[in-house]
Structure 1
């Protein structure tokens, strides 16, 4: 009789230990999932696409090798399209283009690809920053010329 009671006690102890271990694992897994979901929501809430008033017109005068500059106006429209106008100063030439705005996954960079243009821009508060073809900010003595100011 003592052996039976002892065996049942040991068996109950083993089962209860295994059950607690499973519950702990499930709880830890749920915590990781919640943390990942929460982190994803935080990242989604804090980017230029959904935190800044990005639609509107922006202007910059870009450097030009054979003219005094290129007055460039980019209009980002909240329907996901853009208009581009580049007026070559001291010349009788204006280039125009339009197309769809492509947002990069980080929500802060737009890729404007029209019929003739293909540019990347970083959206900042009340402005745009011109990027090179690899998506890096333009560096050098003329970098300030690639900062677009918001007009409206």
Structure 2
């Protein structure tokens, strides 16, 4: 009985050590010299895109041919907004400071006349909902403003 227990113990020990990976100095393994260095991908619209400038397009209007919307985003964090209703004498204008939301991907224009958010893309502002998500519908592409200057 003692011999069979000794044989079983030896077999288990051999199997356990046999399954371990041997150390081979010829293998290509990555060398980490500094464990305190972490790589972070902090790219966002605010720090990666040339977002400052003038964005403009004609957006749909329920009871007119369209609204010529113009948004100017300035490097100093201010904006100007203009909405001219086509074939009418109505012009909505506002200025103020904008805020960055959603980790620097959405601008929030909140002034006396407007309270709206846009996701900032490459040379485009995409209309966003109150939480900063792009509004998805059949008409959503018609509400984007493209950079003109």
| Mapping 1:3-152, distance limit 5 Å | 31=35, 34-35=37-38, 38-39=39-40, 42-43=41-42, 46-152=43-149
- The answer on whether the counterparts of 2:53 and 2:74 sit within 8 Å (CA) in structure 1 is yes
Give structure 1 regions of 4+ aligned residues with deviation exceeding 2 angstroms. Answer: none
Pairwise CA RMSD of aligned residues? 1.5
Contact 1:120 / 1:135 at 8 angstroms: preserved in 2?
yes
Calculate the TM-score normalised by the size of structure 1: 0.71
Please list every run of 5 or more consecutive structure 2 residues that lacks an aligned counterpart in the other structure.
1-33
Higher share in helix: 1
User: What is the CA deviation profile of residues 38-65 of structure 1, one whole-angstrom value per residue up to 9, with x for unaligned ones?
Assistant: 32xx21xx11111111000001212111
Are the counterparts in 2 of residues 138 and 146 from structure 1 also a CA contact under 8 Å? no
CA contact (8 A) 1:56 1:77 kept: yes
Shift of 1:34: 3.9
User: SS of the counterpart of 1:59?
Assistant: strand
Q: Secondary structure at the match of 1:145?
A: helix
In structure 2, C-alpha distance between the alignment counterparts of 1:138 and 1:90, rounded to whole Å = 27
| Structure 2 Cα separation of the partners of residues 148 and 52 of structure 1 | 16
TM-score for the superposition, normalised by structure 2: 0.73
- How far did 1:105 drift? 4.5
